[in-house]
Amino acid sequence: MTEEGHVTDIEIPLLGKVKSNYPSVIIAFIGAAILIYTVSRVDPEVPTIDLSAAVGVAEGTQTSSLPVIIAAVPQQYLGLTTLDEAGRGKFDFKVERTHDTAYNVVVLQPVEITEDGITRYQSIHGPAEITEDQKHLLFEGVLR
């Protein structure tokens, strides 16, 4: 037990010696710092939900053996842009970055609304490439 005004030396592995009148305060501070560091390094578990999608081909439409691509895109990652007179458009936004995340970009443009209210699109998709500085994802495509 220390007397009031008496300085106590505390040796902490990796941190060295610490001097304090109140050793318990320093230990509590170090414990809080370790807790904050640990919690900041833990990846939060993202809740998930199963999504089922049914896709078919309309009667009289030629089928293809090519695969069908289905994507579930969170609303925060949907963007709308218009094309300029040269047929070019640009859209920038932020997406989540994790060490193993790869992004495929899907671009859709409505081309027709059928009599029964179905919107038909032309599309292009492909992987987003990461820049050399590892700070940006880039995608370029041409709708045909």
- Given this model, what pLDDT does residue 91 score? 83
Tell me whether residue 13 is in a domain.
yes
Tell me whether residue 15 is in a domain.
yes
Task: Indicate the number of domains in the chain.
Answer: 2
- Given this model, what pLDDT does residue 84 score? 87
- Given this model, what pLDDT does residue 125 score? 87
Tell me whether residue 62 is in a domain.
no
Q: Is-contact 102 127, C-beta < 8 A?
A: yes
| 134 and 92 part of one domain | yes
Which regions in the chain score pLDDT beneath 50?
Answer: 2
pTM: 0.54
Tell me whether residue 46 is in a domain.
no
Tell me whether residue 56 is in a domain.
no
| 79 and 128 part of one domain | yes
- Given this model, what pLDDT does residue 14 score? 65
Strand intervals (E) in 1-144: 8-12, 16-20, 104-113, 119-127, 129-130, 137-138
Tell me whether residue 59 is in a domain.
no
25: containing domain: 8-41
Tell me whether residue 111 is in a domain.
yes
| 35 and 87 part of one domain | no
- Given this model, what pLDDT does residue 3 score? 55
